[in-house]
Chain A
Amino acid sequence: MTKDIDLKRRSFLKLTSTMGGGLILGFNLLSACEDIAVEKIVSAALPKDWFTINTFIKIGETGLVTILSPNPEIGQNVKTSMPMIVAEELDARWEDVVVEQAPLSDGFTRQVAGGSQSIRKGWDSLRNAGATAKQMLINAAAKRWEVDAKTLTATDGMIKNENGNTLSYGELAAEAATLEVPTDITLKAPSEYKIIGHSKVNVDINNIITGKPLFGIDTKEEGMVYAASIRPPAFGMELVNYDDSAAREVDGVIDVIRYADHKIAVLANNTWVAFKAKALVKANWKAVGTLESTSDHDAKLNALLDKKSAEPRRNDGDVDKAFKVADKVVERVYEAPFLPHNCLEPMNFFAKMEGGKLICKGPIQTPAWAQNRIADITKVPKEDISIMMTRMGGGFGRRLYGDFSDEAAEIAHKTGKSIQLMFSREDDMSSGTYRPASKYKIKAAIKEGEITAYHLTEACFNGNMFDSIPNYFPAGSIENMRVDTNTEKSNITTGAWRAPYTNFLAYAEQSFFDEMAQELAMDPVDLRIKLFEKAKANQDAGYEYDPERAIGVTKLAAEKAGWGKQGKDVHLGLSVYFSHNTHVAEVAEVQMTDDGPVIKKVTAAVDCGIVVNPYAAQNQVEGGIVDGIGHAMFGNFMLENGKAKSKNFNSYRMIRMHESPEIAVHFVKSEKSPTGLGEPSLPPVGGAIANALYKATGKRLYKQPFVNESELLG
């Protein structure tokens, strides 16, 4: 599968910039490049003093502004886009802004990277922080000039009075910091934005491309030692005892300890020695629970699919009756395996004891949860535990679960040493928190050219995903609708994986509606619009998506992808999905080649309200699409007797450059409050490619991964 952008940069720019205009913001790379082409150069000199205006903002006497970025950065661009929102309302010049990662602190709310919620939930507090600080600077100027604050204006780091005199933020910072926090602030109208909506390059770009220490794994401190972890070799096993005599012989090994009841840590003076010595520890394990295999999981899920739940999650009308009188009933089953996150930076964390306090630092999506758990485990009072977030080499949900942070803290607390806990790739992949395997049975009734009933049954391990979203599409668009959810316990640890609830469901549902369109002899675009129109006319039906915005992205994606105008060897598949408060429609383009079908291109239309940082936002959408294709095509994590069958990238296939298609992203122009982008482009793409592959090959795909790679496992 080759991607085919055989355009030199100039034409690439031109092509992309002509995609804008009309109803859409499109993506105007050309104008974006004016902002991002230049390395971010801080214009003001480094100050001697910083004056704290509020928890987000410090201003130096030279006019340099430090904005603290509250949320953890996992690659979703919040370290750039959140401070952009503050700077906008502050009316600072972006060139005068330096961004600092905030530590976990009571001064901020929701310091979490999860659910694509940072921008949406931070929107008000970030704007208020900027606007409040600006008002304090204005008030300081009013005092200095002895004039009414209302006669003053703030622009680009300067306050101006009616006589045309100016004072810079730097000149006013010391005084502003002492003033009362104003409550009567006015926020800007979107038409006044100078920073929001104008692409800014990643604030860490120079550190990333020159190899500066940024990530948790890069932590180096005087006297720090490295801890490798020996973990139960299978889910359902516990440690009996171990012999560490051979490991202790290795030059560089410092200590071997048992911790967290059933784990062993090897402490050494470098990671390599710690990993090497780990292999020399002879541990005895015993099974204390079922040692589960993929074949058991499969059978259990099949059994769950045949059950009705005691309490349906949604039950509109009477599906049974509708099925009885239907002209036709269609029933399909969709399947997906467990998935590991495979963040490229393996799990790690730093911890040390210092004067009775526990200092922790590392890649964690949920620092507040970690602090609570660490207090619980170590009995160090919560106020004596500090957590600093580093930039993360991916999150995808894995770093919501801080088993590694807790373990690092426990080892440091137990040994009194300053330690960096390091998972090997094998530890990371085989001792994870997986997207649970699940299956969906979807059954629909057709009568007189209409879909009259929709019955979805979910089978899943360790809880149900649909419990959280029973009011998503097609709720409101089909008169009789029922959702049953069934679950069974598994001792495989499971949790959120990028776009939890919907990363697999969207594919099942959107493949099913493609078949429905075929059954009804309707164009898939027309069927979606018809259903959204029904929901629109049925506003009291209690659903969560916005049918108008769903129609908007559907039409936009279809138009931009040339839906209905494709050549005879080009096959298009549509998928429309609302998740994490954002509406996305995607059209996949598959071409038949001598080597079989090739996914050439994906066109995405996205309605996320105001687009804060457009070029980076486009990157998020592109990444979600590549990730979604990769896992739908190849992701397959199997277990045998409780053990992972894949432990590294030689036995677990990930999407690579030559398998990634060309991607065109179009944002709906909007002045609505922004919603998140870390996840919403992923769920629809599985359905889009399945539907396009069907058009190309005549074969429906019901099971992920689409490409069977079991031969990799030997």
Chain B
Amino acid sequence: MPKYTLNINNRTHEVNVDKDMPLLWVLRDTLSMVGTKYGCGIAQCGACTVHLNGSAMRSCSVPVSAIGDKKITTIEGLDKDNKHPLQEAWREFDVPQCGYCQAGQIMNAAALLKNNKAPSDQDIDNAMAGNLCRCGTYTRIKAAIKSVAK
């Protein structure tokens, strides 16, 4: 099996896996980094969102062989002190119900705010439309994002 060197949260990991294995399963099963969640496997729910060179990607649909030397950031590495402004806002607004989608929501929102520090409601709706929350915490997710937006 081929060997891949991955830069995840500023650390180097070597994995021996199929070239078509999605990054999601490399993270979850090979590296036991389980913060990135499986929801649909076809980039329809956003639960598996990570950053590739700072942009939000659905890790269920990115084969490991396509990553190369791009920097991967997962929820575990979003902030070294776990105090990213969005994480703080999620605490303040007590956003989660079941919590399963929330890592993906935060990663997606973090990528949005990186590129757009003052998103409008429309910008937030557009950027977050790919992230399902089955519990329906959308109102709070949006309020939390807006509280961080400058």
A residues with a Cβ closer than 8 A to B are 2-9, 12, 33, 36-37, 39, 74-77, 199, 201-202, 204-206, 208-215, 217-218, 220, 226, 251, 270-273, 275, 342-346, 391-396, 424-425, 615-616, 619-620, 622-627, 630, 648-650, 654-658, 660, 662-663
* Nearest CB in chain A: distance from B56 CB, A: 15
Counting chain A CB atoms within 10 Å of each CB, the highest count among B122, B133, B134, B146 belongs to B134
- On whether the beta carbons of A9 and B147 are closer than 8 Å, the reply is yes
Q: Which 9 pairs show the lowest CB-CB distances between chains A and B? A: A211-B35, A626-B136, A393-B100, A75-B98, A211-B75, A75-B97, A649-B44, A208-B99, A658-B125
Q: Within B77-109, which residues are at the interface with A (CB < 8 Å)?
A: 82, 87, 90-92, 94, 96-103, 106
Chain B residues in 8 Å Cβ range of A12 = 143, 146-147
Q: Is B53 an interface residue (CB 8 A)?
A: no
Chain B residues in 8 Å Cβ range of A392 = 98
Q: Within B14-61, which residues are at the interface with A (CB < 8 Å)?
A: 17-18, 21-22, 25, 28-30, 32-42, 44-45, 47
* Nearest CB in chain A: distance from B58 CB, A: 12
Task: Give the contact-size bracket for chain B.
Answer: 35 or more
- On whether the beta carbons of A5 and B134 are closer than 8 Å, the reply is no
Chain B residues in 8 Å Cβ range of A624 = 136
Closest to A662 in B: B139
Chain B residues in 8 Å Cβ range of A622 = 136-137, 139-140
Bound CA–CA A593/B102 (angstroms): 32
Question: A394 with B38: in contact, given A74-B98, A344-B45 (CB under 8 Å)?
Answer: no
A199-B94, A220-B32, A658-B129 known; 15 new pairs, CB 8 Å cut-off, are: A202-B94, A202-B96, A209-B103, A210-B35, A344-B133, A393-B101, A394-B98, A394-B134, A395-B98, A624-B136, A626-B136, A648-B42, A649-B42, A656-B129, A657-B142
Closest to B103 in A: A211
Question: A627 with B136: in contact, given A74-B98, A226-B29, A272-B21 (CB under 8 Å)?
Answer: yes
- On whether the beta carbons of B22 and A654 are closer than 8 Å, the reply is no
Question: Which of A208, A346, A425 contacts B103, CB < 8 Å?
Answer: A208
Chain A residues in 8 Å Cβ range of B111 = none
Bound CA–CA A655/B141 (angstroms): 14
Bound CA–CA A606/B45 (angstroms): 31
Q: Within B105-144, which residues are at the interface with A (CB < 8 Å)?
A: 106, 121-122, 124-126, 128-129, 131-143
- On whether the beta carbons of B92 and A208 are closer than 8 Å, the reply is no
Bound CA–CA A648/B40 (angstroms): 7
* Nearest CB in chain B: distance from A619 CB, A: 6
Question: A657 with B129: in contact, given A9-B146, A37-B92 (CB under 8 Å)?
Answer: yes
Closest to A346 in B: B38
Chain B residues in 8 Å Cβ range of A77 = 97
- On whether the beta carbons of A272 and B129 are closer than 8 Å, the reply is no
Report whether over half of chain B's contact residues are helix, strand or loop; otherwise say mixed: loop
Chain A residues in 8 Å Cβ range of B41 = 275, 424-425, 648
- On whether the beta carbons of A648 and B44 are closer than 8 Å, the reply is yes
Bound CA–CA A392/B98 (angstroms): 6
Instruction: Show 19 A/B contacts (Cβ-Cβ < 8 Å), sorted by A.
Output: A75-B96, A76-B97, A209-B75, A209-B90, A212-B35, A217-B38, A271-B25, A272-B18, A272-B22, A272-B29, A343-B134, A395-B98, A425-B42, A625-B136, A649-B40, A655-B136, A656-B128, A656-B131, A660-B139
Bound CA–CA A273/B40 (angstroms): 16
Chain B residues in 8 Å Cβ range of A650 = 42, 44
Question: Which of A210, A342, A615 contacts B94, CB < 8 Å?
Answer: A615
Bound CA–CA A251/B16 (angstroms): 12
Chain B residues in 8 Å Cβ range of A346 = 38-39
Chain A residues in 8 Å Cβ range of B97 = 75-77, 619-620, 623
- On whether the beta carbons of A394 and B135 are closer than 8 Å, the reply is yes
Question: A205 with B98: in contact, given A2-B121, A9-B143 (CB under 8 Å)?
Answer: no
Question: A623 with B102: in contact, given A5-B142, A205-B94, A210-B75 (CB under 8 Å)?
Answer: no
Chain A residues in 8 Å Cβ range of B34 = 211, 213, 215, 217-218, 220
- On whether the beta carbons of A211 and B134 are closer than 8 Å, the reply is no
- On whether the beta carbons of A211 and B92 are closer than 8 Å, the reply is no
- On whether the beta carbons of A660 and B136 are closer than 8 Å, the reply is yes
Closest to B87 in A: A209
